Amino acid sequence: MSALPFVMLAVVLLSLGAQPSQCSPQPPPKTADPQPSPPKRDPVVQVEIVVQPLFKELSALCTTNTPATTIFVENSKPVQVYHCIGTKLHNHTEHFKNPKAMDPADVKLSFGQRVRWVSTTPFFVVDVTKPEEPDHQPQDRLAPLRPFGVFKSEVYATQVETPEVPDVAGEKPVVQRYKVTFNIQNIGLVDPDLICTM
């Protein structure tokens, strides 16, 4: 008897053993990795207006936990406006001399957001409009002259909230710097900035 049938039988048995059993569990199908959700935006961005008579008093309030968007107003003549970046006060006029360094002080709103200004010193909003100076960037010709329409509060209060930033239809977002003119009681007009992405 030849050994050939035994060899063939062994090859057949080995090949059958190499095949997966129909009863063995199948690996679960791969699921897509979860996509990170976009960061949640606060519908209302709060900005504090702090008024003090002397620069040294404002400097003492400038601490590491003070938001750079806080508006510090020195009640002197002429009135000076500052922002606290790190632990140092920077004059608001530096926005146009050194815009990158002042970037943390910009109040930035996106479509659907509102800003709420609060202060212990009563104030009202005179206007929110595009600046006349072309070097006040960013500027976009598609941006409305006033992001909140004809919005003004006209009555002294310690809190004022805007309507929502509108949506400007288009292929790309419209980004515009606006001047906010406040009338602060016993001080007068102050005009910090606001950047809206619409």
* pLDDT > 90: percent of the chain: 52
Cβ distance 166 to 144 under 8 Å? yes
Query: pTM for this one?
Result: 0.75
Interval 100-143: pLDDT, tens = 888 899 999 999 999 999 999 999 999 999 988 777 789 999 99
Residue 157: pLDDT band (50, 70, 90) is very high
pLDDT of residue 104: 92
Interval 6-46: pLDDT, tens = 444 444 444 545 454 454 556 666 655 555 555 566 899 99
Q: Which tokens in the block code for residue 37? A: 């959700």
* pLDDT > 70: percent of the chain: 78
Q: Angle at the Cα of 121 (from 107 to 90), degrees rounded to 5?
A: 45
In this prediction, residues 53-69 reach a mean pLDDT of 89
Pairing mode of beta strands 175-184, 188-190: antiparallel
Minimal CA–CA distance to 73: which of 45, 54, 88, 98? 54
Q: Which tokens in the block code for residue 192? A: 């910090």
Sign of CA dihedral 125, 111, 89, 49: positive
In this prediction, residues 55-67 reach a mean pLDDT of 88
